[in-house]
Amino acid sequence: MSVPIEGYVAPGFDAVGEVFASNFTAGVEVGASFCVMQRGRVLVDLWGGSCDQAGSRPWRADTLVNVYSTTKGLAAAAVAAVVASGSLDYQAPVQHYWPELRAARSGLTVTQLLSHQAGLCAIDTPISVGDLYDWGGMCRRLEAQEPRWPPGTAAGYHAITWGFLVGELVRRATGQSLAEVFRQHIAAPLDAACYIGLPDAEFHRAADLIGPNRARKAQAERAAAEEAGSRPALNAVVMENPLIRPYADACSTGWRRAELAASNGHANGRGIARIYAALAGAENGGDIGATQIVPAEQVAALRTEVWGRQPDLVLGYPMRRGRGVNLNTRGEFGPSAEAFGHTGTGGSLGFADPERGIGVGYAMNQLWGGTDPNSRAGRLVAALYRCLDGNPS
Protein backbone atom coordinates (compact mmCIF):
# COMPACT_ATOMS: atom_id res chain seq x y z
CA MET A 1 0.00 0.00 0.00
CA SER A 2 1.44 3.34 -1.08
CA VAL A 3 0.44 6.38 0.98
CA PRO A 4 1.61 9.88 0.04
CA ILE A 5 3.72 11.40 2.82
CA GLU A 6 4.35 15.13 2.92
CA GLY A 7 6.39 17.48 5.06
CA TYR A 8 10.00 17.97 6.08
CA VAL A 9 12.77 15.88 7.62
CA ALA A 10 16.05 17.53 8.63
CA PRO A 11 19.33 15.93 7.50
CA GLY A 12 20.23 13.07 9.79
CA PHE A 13 16.63 12.25 10.66
CA ASP A 14 15.65 10.20 7.61
CA ALA A 15 15.07 7.15 9.81
CA VAL A 16 12.16 8.92 11.48
CA GLY A 17 10.54 9.50 8.09
CA GLU A 18 11.02 5.85 7.22
CA VAL A 19 9.26 4.73 10.40
CA PHE A 20 6.44 7.20 9.79
CA ALA A 21 5.90 5.72 6.33
CA SER A 22 6.12 2.14 7.62
CA ASN A 23 3.34 2.83 10.11
CA PHE A 24 1.10 3.10 7.04
CA THR A 25 2.52 0.30 4.92
CA ALA A 26 3.20 -2.31 7.61
CA GLY A 27 0.95 -1.04 10.39
CA VAL A 28 -2.57 0.22 10.90
CA GLU A 29 -2.14 3.95 10.24
CA VAL A 30 -4.89 5.72 8.27
CA GLY A 31 -4.00 9.38 8.77
CA ALA A 32 -1.41 10.97 11.03
CA SER A 33 1.01 13.80 11.75
CA PHE A 34 4.30 13.78 13.66
CA CYS A 35 6.46 16.75 14.55
CA VAL A 36 9.64 17.39 16.52
CA MET A 37 11.07 20.80 17.36
CA GLN A 38 14.35 21.52 19.09
CA ARG A 39 15.15 25.02 20.38
CA GLY A 40 13.12 26.68 17.65
CA ARG A 41 14.37 24.41 14.86
CA VAL A 42 12.09 21.93 13.12
CA LEU A 43 13.67 18.49 12.98
CA VAL A 44 10.67 16.56 11.66
CA ASP A 45 7.25 17.72 10.45
CA LEU A 46 5.36 14.99 8.61
CA TRP A 47 1.78 14.22 7.71
CA GLY A 48 0.02 11.78 5.42
CA GLY A 49 -2.83 9.40 4.80
CA SER A 50 -6.51 10.14 4.96
CA CYS A 51 -8.95 11.97 7.23
CA ASP A 52 -11.49 9.20 6.86
CA GLN A 53 -11.52 5.44 6.55
CA ALA A 54 -12.80 5.58 2.97
CA GLY A 55 -9.75 7.56 1.87
CA SER A 56 -11.86 10.32 0.36
CA ARG A 57 -10.23 13.24 2.24
CA PRO A 58 -6.44 13.53 2.23
CA TRP A 59 -4.71 14.45 5.49
CA ARG A 60 -3.26 17.93 5.02
CA ALA A 61 -0.71 20.10 6.80
CA ASP A 62 -3.44 21.84 8.81
CA THR A 63 -5.62 18.79 9.58
CA LEU A 64 -6.79 18.51 13.18
CA VAL A 65 -7.93 15.46 15.11
CA ASN A 66 -9.30 14.71 18.55
CA VAL A 67 -6.32 13.65 20.70
CA TYR A 68 -8.29 12.46 23.73
CA SER A 69 -6.22 12.61 26.94
CA THR A 70 -3.20 14.16 25.28
CA THR A 71 -5.38 17.23 25.92
CA LYS A 72 -4.63 16.99 29.66
CA GLY A 73 -0.97 17.92 29.26
CA LEU A 74 -1.88 20.95 27.14
CA ALA A 75 -4.48 22.03 29.69
CA ALA A 76 -1.95 21.62 32.49
CA ALA A 77 0.27 24.18 30.75
CA ALA A 78 -2.66 26.62 30.85
CA VAL A 79 -3.10 25.98 34.57
CA ALA A 80 0.62 26.69 35.05
CA ALA A 81 0.11 30.03 33.30
CA VAL A 82 -2.71 30.84 35.74
CA VAL A 83 -0.42 29.98 38.64
CA ALA A 84 2.23 32.27 37.16
CA SER A 85 -0.31 35.09 37.07
CA GLY A 86 -0.91 34.75 40.81
CA SER A 87 -4.60 33.84 40.46
CA LEU A 88 -4.06 30.25 41.57
CA ASP A 89 -1.67 28.60 44.03
CA TYR A 90 -0.58 24.98 43.63
CA GLN A 91 -0.26 24.60 47.42
CA ALA A 92 -3.60 26.19 48.31
CA PRO A 93 -6.57 24.12 49.46
CA VAL A 94 -9.14 23.59 46.72
CA GLN A 95 -11.84 24.61 49.22
CA HIS A 96 -10.47 28.17 49.09
CA TYR A 97 -11.66 28.39 45.48
CA TRP A 98 -14.49 25.85 45.42
CA PRO A 99 -16.07 25.49 48.87
CA GLU A 100 -19.05 23.49 47.56
CA LEU A 101 -16.86 20.54 46.54
CA ARG A 102 -17.38 17.86 49.18
CA ALA A 103 -14.05 16.15 48.45
CA ALA A 104 -12.21 19.41 49.18
CA ARG A 105 -13.34 19.52 52.81
CA SER A 106 -10.57 17.13 53.86
CA GLY A 107 -7.84 19.61 52.85
CA LEU A 108 -7.38 18.53 49.21
CA THR A 109 -4.83 20.84 47.58
CA VAL A 110 -4.66 22.16 44.03
CA THR A 111 -1.59 20.00 43.42
CA GLN A 112 -3.42 16.88 44.59
CA LEU A 113 -6.41 17.69 42.39
CA LEU A 114 -4.17 18.11 39.35
CA SER A 115 -2.37 14.83 40.03
CA HIS A 116 -5.49 12.62 40.17
CA GLN A 117 -5.58 12.28 43.96
CA ALA A 118 -9.05 13.72 44.59
CA GLY A 119 -10.91 10.40 44.60
CA LEU A 120 -13.42 11.82 42.11
CA CYS A 121 -12.46 9.60 39.19
CA ALA A 122 -16.05 8.50 38.53
CA ILE A 123 -19.66 9.51 39.09
CA ASP A 124 -21.74 6.99 41.04
CA THR A 125 -24.93 7.52 39.02
CA PRO A 126 -25.12 6.62 35.32
CA ILE A 127 -24.41 9.53 32.98
CA SER A 128 -24.66 9.91 29.22
CA VAL A 129 -22.27 11.52 26.76
CA GLY A 130 -24.80 14.33 26.44
CA ASP A 131 -24.44 15.04 30.17
CA LEU A 132 -20.81 15.97 29.52
CA TYR A 133 -21.98 19.00 27.56
CA ASP A 134 -23.74 20.43 30.65
CA TRP A 135 -20.89 22.14 32.54
CA GLY A 136 -22.97 23.24 35.51
CA GLY A 137 -24.68 19.89 35.80
CA MET A 138 -21.38 17.98 35.82
CA CYS A 139 -19.91 20.32 38.43
CA ARG A 140 -22.95 19.81 40.67
CA ARG A 141 -22.55 16.04 40.35
CA LEU A 142 -18.90 16.31 41.33
CA GLU A 143 -19.70 18.59 44.26
CA ALA A 144 -22.03 15.96 45.70
CA GLN A 145 -19.88 12.93 44.83
CA GLU A 146 -18.39 10.99 47.72
CA PRO A 147 -14.66 10.40 47.03
CA ARG A 148 -13.65 6.85 46.15
CA TRP A 149 -10.73 7.12 48.59
CA PRO A 150 -9.62 9.72 51.15
CA PRO A 151 -8.37 12.61 48.97
CA GLY A 152 -4.61 12.92 48.90
CA THR A 153 -3.92 9.34 50.05
CA ALA A 154 -3.87 7.60 46.66
CA ALA A 155 -3.99 8.34 42.94
CA GLY A 156 -6.40 6.99 40.35
CA TYR A 157 -6.76 8.24 36.81
CA HIS A 158 -9.59 10.79 36.46
CA ALA A 159 -10.12 10.09 32.77
CA ILE A 160 -13.08 12.42 32.14
CA THR A 161 -13.78 14.17 35.44
CA TRP A 162 -10.31 15.79 35.54
CA GLY A 163 -11.37 18.31 32.91
CA PHE A 164 -14.37 19.51 34.91
CA LEU A 165 -12.51 19.60 38.21
CA VAL A 166 -9.56 21.56 36.87
CA GLY A 167 -11.67 23.67 34.53
CA GLU A 168 -14.05 24.78 37.30
CA LEU A 169 -11.09 25.58 39.54
CA VAL A 170 -9.65 27.84 36.84
CA ARG A 171 -13.04 29.44 36.16
CA ARG A 172 -13.49 30.33 39.80
CA ALA A 173 -9.94 31.63 40.13
CA THR A 174 -9.89 33.75 36.94
CA GLY A 175 -13.44 34.26 35.71
CA GLN A 176 -12.41 32.62 32.41
CA SER A 177 -12.90 29.11 31.13
CA LEU A 178 -9.87 26.89 30.87
CA ALA A 179 -10.36 26.85 27.09
CA GLU A 180 -10.13 30.66 27.01
CA VAL A 181 -7.00 30.67 29.16
CA PHE A 182 -5.43 28.01 26.96
CA ARG A 183 -6.18 29.93 23.78
CA GLN A 184 -4.98 33.31 25.08
CA HIS A 185 -1.89 32.26 26.99
CA ILE A 186 -0.69 29.06 25.33
CA ALA A 187 -1.94 28.38 21.79
CA ALA A 188 -2.26 31.90 20.37
CA PRO A 189 1.20 33.23 21.40
CA LEU A 190 2.82 30.20 19.77
CA ASP A 191 0.48 30.04 16.77
CA ALA A 192 -0.11 26.42 17.79
CA ALA A 193 -2.94 24.54 16.11
CA CYS A 194 -4.51 23.21 19.30
CA TYR A 195 -8.02 23.79 20.64
CA ILE A 196 -9.96 22.79 23.74
CA GLY A 197 -13.43 22.97 22.29
CA LEU A 198 -13.22 23.27 18.52
CA PRO A 199 -14.63 26.48 16.96
CA ASP A 200 -17.28 25.82 14.31
CA ALA A 201 -15.10 27.61 11.75
CA GLU A 202 -12.45 24.89 12.18
CA PHE A 203 -14.72 21.86 11.83
CA HIS A 204 -13.75 21.42 8.16
CA ARG A 205 -10.18 20.66 9.27
CA ALA A 206 -11.15 17.82 11.61
CA ALA A 207 -10.39 14.21 10.72
CA ASP A 208 -12.73 11.38 11.67
CA LEU A 209 -11.71 9.10 14.50
CA ILE A 210 -11.70 5.40 13.59
CA GLY A 211 -12.33 2.85 16.34
CA PRO A 212 -9.80 0.08 17.08
CA ASN A 213 -12.37 -2.50 15.97
CA ARG A 214 -11.98 -1.14 12.43
CA ALA A 215 -8.20 -1.47 12.30
CA ARG A 216 -6.80 -3.92 9.76
CA LYS A 217 -7.78 -7.34 11.00
CA ALA A 218 -4.49 -9.07 11.82
CA GLN A 219 -3.17 -6.05 13.67
CA ALA A 220 -6.45 -5.55 15.52
CA GLU A 221 -6.51 -9.16 16.69
CA ARG A 222 -2.96 -8.88 17.99
CA ALA A 223 -3.82 -5.65 19.80
CA ALA A 224 -6.83 -7.29 21.44
CA ALA A 225 -4.64 -10.12 22.70
CA GLU A 226 -2.09 -7.68 24.09
CA GLU A 227 -4.82 -5.70 25.85
CA ALA A 228 -6.30 -8.80 27.47
CA GLY A 229 -5.60 -9.30 31.15
CA SER A 230 -6.77 -8.23 34.54
CA ARG A 231 -7.58 -4.60 35.26
CA PRO A 232 -8.72 -2.99 38.49
CA ALA A 233 -12.49 -3.16 38.97
CA LEU A 234 -12.50 0.63 39.15
CA ASN A 235 -11.23 0.81 35.55
CA ALA A 236 -14.59 -0.07 33.99
CA VAL A 237 -16.44 2.31 36.32
CA VAL A 238 -14.21 5.18 35.19
CA MET A 239 -13.87 4.34 31.51
CA GLU A 240 -17.43 3.23 30.75
CA ASN A 241 -19.60 5.81 32.51
CA PRO A 242 -20.28 7.13 29.98
CA LEU A 243 -19.09 4.87 27.18
CA ILE A 244 -17.75 7.22 24.49
CA ARG A 245 -17.90 5.94 20.93
CA PRO A 246 -15.01 7.19 18.76
CA TYR A 247 -17.06 8.22 15.75
CA ALA A 248 -20.69 8.54 16.83
CA ASP A 249 -19.82 10.52 19.96
CA ALA A 250 -16.31 11.95 19.73
CA CYS A 251 -16.79 13.20 16.16
CA SER A 252 -20.18 14.75 16.84
CA THR A 253 -20.90 18.46 16.75
CA GLY A 254 -21.73 18.50 20.46
CA TRP A 255 -18.46 16.84 21.44
CA ARG A 256 -16.32 19.03 19.23
CA ARG A 257 -17.87 22.23 20.56
CA ALA A 258 -17.76 21.26 24.24
CA GLU A 259 -15.00 22.27 26.62
CA LEU A 260 -13.69 18.89 27.78
CA ALA A 261 -10.15 19.61 28.92
CA ALA A 262 -9.58 15.96 29.79
CA SER A 263 -10.51 14.50 26.44
CA ASN A 264 -11.57 16.62 23.48
CA GLY A 265 -8.56 18.68 22.48
CA HIS A 266 -8.23 18.95 18.71
CA ALA A 267 -4.70 19.33 17.43
CA ASN A 268 -2.03 18.09 15.07
CA GLY A 269 1.55 17.00 15.64
CA ARG A 270 2.97 20.43 14.83
CA GLY A 271 0.72 22.28 17.27
CA ILE A 272 1.47 19.87 20.11
CA ALA A 273 5.20 19.95 19.41
CA ARG A 274 5.30 23.76 19.43
CA ILE A 275 3.79 23.90 22.91
CA TYR A 276 6.05 21.24 24.36
CA ALA A 277 9.14 22.72 22.71
CA ALA A 278 8.35 26.03 24.44
CA LEU A 279 7.98 24.22 27.77
CA ALA A 280 11.18 22.26 27.17
CA GLY A 281 13.09 25.47 26.54
CA ALA A 282 11.62 27.56 29.34
CA GLU A 283 14.27 26.60 31.86
CA ASN A 284 17.23 27.35 29.59
CA GLY A 285 15.94 30.40 27.73
CA GLY A 286 15.24 28.45 24.56
CA ASP A 287 11.56 29.22 24.09
CA ILE A 288 10.24 29.35 20.54
CA GLY A 289 10.80 32.78 19.07
CA ALA A 290 11.59 34.09 22.56
CA THR A 291 7.89 33.62 23.42
CA GLN A 292 7.55 32.57 27.03
CA ILE A 293 4.18 30.92 27.62
CA VAL A 294 5.01 29.70 31.13
CA PRO A 295 7.88 31.05 33.28
CA ALA A 296 10.70 28.66 34.12
CA GLU A 297 9.68 28.50 37.79
CA GLN A 298 6.22 27.23 36.91
CA VAL A 299 7.52 24.76 34.32
CA ALA A 300 9.80 23.35 37.01
CA ALA A 301 6.81 23.00 39.34
CA LEU A 302 4.67 21.52 36.57
CA ARG A 303 7.14 18.69 36.01
CA THR A 304 8.15 18.06 39.63
CA GLU A 305 7.10 14.61 40.78
CA VAL A 306 4.22 14.79 43.26
CA TRP A 307 3.05 11.19 42.99
CA GLY A 308 5.50 8.34 42.69
CA ARG A 309 5.62 4.76 41.56
CA GLN A 310 2.68 3.27 43.48
CA PRO A 311 0.12 1.52 41.25
CA ASP A 312 -2.65 3.77 39.96
CA LEU A 313 -6.00 2.59 41.36
CA VAL A 314 -7.70 2.91 37.96
CA LEU A 315 -4.94 1.97 35.52
CA GLY A 316 -3.43 -0.79 37.65
CA TYR A 317 0.20 0.13 37.02
CA PRO A 318 2.54 2.76 38.48
CA MET A 319 2.45 6.27 37.03
CA ARG A 320 4.74 9.13 38.04
CA ARG A 321 2.85 12.40 37.92
CA GLY A 322 3.56 16.09 38.09
CA ARG A 323 0.93 18.81 38.31
CA GLY A 324 -1.33 17.70 35.47
CA VAL A 325 1.34 16.04 33.35
CA ASN A 326 2.75 12.54 33.42
CA LEU A 327 6.45 12.03 34.02
CA ASN A 328 8.36 9.46 32.04
CA THR A 329 7.51 6.19 33.78
CA ARG A 330 7.76 3.38 31.23
CA GLY A 331 9.85 5.03 28.51
CA GLU A 332 6.82 6.39 26.67
CA PHE A 333 8.60 9.74 26.35
CA GLY A 334 11.99 8.39 25.27
CA PRO A 335 15.01 7.62 27.45
CA SER A 336 15.15 10.75 29.61
CA ALA A 337 13.80 10.55 33.15
CA GLU A 338 13.21 14.32 32.94
CA ALA A 339 10.75 14.09 30.03
CA PHE A 340 7.11 14.94 30.72
CA GLY A 341 3.85 15.15 28.79
CA HIS A 342 0.70 13.13 28.25
CA THR A 343 -0.65 10.35 26.06
CA GLY A 344 -4.13 9.81 24.69
CA THR A 345 -6.40 6.82 24.15
CA GLY A 346 -5.57 5.07 20.90
CA GLY A 347 -1.99 6.28 20.60
CA SER A 348 -1.55 10.08 20.45
CA LEU A 349 1.09 11.79 22.56
CA GLY A 350 2.92 14.99 23.28
CA PHE A 351 5.97 15.52 25.44
CA ALA A 352 8.90 17.74 26.30
CA ASP A 353 12.44 16.61 26.96
CA PRO A 354 14.22 19.50 28.72
CA GLU A 355 17.60 17.74 28.54
CA ARG A 356 17.45 17.70 24.74
CA GLY A 357 15.38 20.88 24.42
CA ILE A 358 12.80 19.11 22.26
CA GLY A 359 9.04 19.08 21.94
CA VAL A 360 7.29 16.13 20.29
CA GLY A 361 3.73 15.76 19.00
CA TYR A 362 1.97 12.81 17.38
CA ALA A 363 -1.71 12.77 16.37
CA MET A 364 -3.62 10.18 14.35
CA ASN A 365 -7.18 9.11 13.61
CA GLN A 366 -6.90 5.30 13.74
CA LEU A 367 -7.23 4.38 17.42
CA TRP A 368 -5.15 1.33 18.19
CA GLY A 369 -2.92 0.34 21.07
CA GLY A 370 -1.04 2.73 23.29
CA THR A 371 2.41 4.30 23.30
CA ASP A 372 4.58 1.33 24.30
CA PRO A 373 7.88 0.75 22.43
CA ASN A 374 6.15 -1.41 19.79
CA SER A 375 3.39 1.09 19.07
CA ARG A 376 3.35 3.57 16.20
CA ALA A 377 4.37 6.43 18.49
CA GLY A 378 6.88 4.23 20.30
CA ARG A 379 8.70 3.38 17.07
CA LEU A 380 8.77 7.04 16.03
CA VAL A 381 10.19 8.13 19.38
CA ALA A 382 12.81 5.36 19.32
CA ALA A 383 13.92 6.36 15.81
CA LEU A 384 14.06 10.01 16.86
CA TYR A 385 16.44 9.33 19.74
CA ARG A 386 18.63 7.10 17.62
CA CYS A 387 18.99 10.01 15.22
CA LEU A 388 19.63 12.47 18.04
CA ASP A 389 22.40 10.17 19.23
CA GLY A 390 23.84 9.95 15.73
CA ASN A 391 22.97 6.29 15.29
CA PRO A 392 19.84 6.11 13.12
CA SER A 393 20.12 2.43 12.25
Q: How far is CA 128 from the centre of its chain?
A: 23
In this prediction, residue 81 carries a pLDDT of 98
The whole-angstrom separation of Cα 98 and Cα 251 is 32
> In the chain, what are the domains?
5-74+180-388 (3.40.710.10)
User: On the CB side of 385, how many CA atoms lie within 13 Å of its CA?
Assistant: 16
The whole-angstrom separation of Cα 77 and Cα 184 is 12
In this prediction, residue 229 carries a pLDDT of 56
The whole-angstrom separation of Cα 17 and Cα 30 is 16
The set of residues, in sequence order, having a beta carbon less than 8 Å from that of 324 and lying 6+ positions away, is 72, 73, 75, 76, 79, 80, 114, 115, 166, 302
- Residue type for position 336: S
The whole-angstrom separation of Cα 381 and Cα 138 is 37
Sheet of strand 194-196, all strands in order from the earlier edge strand to the far edge: 65-66, 265-267, 194-196
Degrees (nearest 5) of the Cα angle 355, 360, 364?
160
Is the model's pTM score more than 0.85?
yes
DSSP state string for 62-123: T-BEE-TTHHHHHHHHHHHHHHHHTS--TTSBGGGT-TT-GGGGG--BHHHHHTT-SS-SS-
- Residue type for position 302: L
By the 8 A CB rule, do 274 and 359 touch?
yes
Q: Give bridge partners of residue 326 from the DSSP assignment.
A: 321, 341
Q: Determine the angle formed by the axes of helices 70-85 and 269-281, rounding to 10 degrees.
A: 40
DSSP state string for 166-221: HHHHHHHHHSS-HHHHHIIIIIHHHT--EEES--GGGGGGBPPPB-GGGS-HHHHH
The whole-angstrom separation of Cα 391 and Cα 217 is 34
In this prediction, residue 228 carries a pLDDT of 46
List the one residue out of 213, 200, 262 whose CA is nearest residue 66: 262
SS (H, E, C) 149-166: CCCCCCCCCCCCHHHHHH
Q: How many CB atoms are located within 10 Å of the residue 91 CB? A: 9
- Residue type for position 23: N
Q: Determine the angle formed by the axes of helices 14-25 and 376-388, rounding to 10 degrees.
A: 160
Within the chain, which residues score under 50 in pLDDT? 228
Burial status of residue 218 (CB atoms within 10 A of its CB: 0-12, 13-18, 19 or more)? exposed
The whole-angstrom separation of Cα 80 and Cα 323 is 9
DSSP label of 256: H
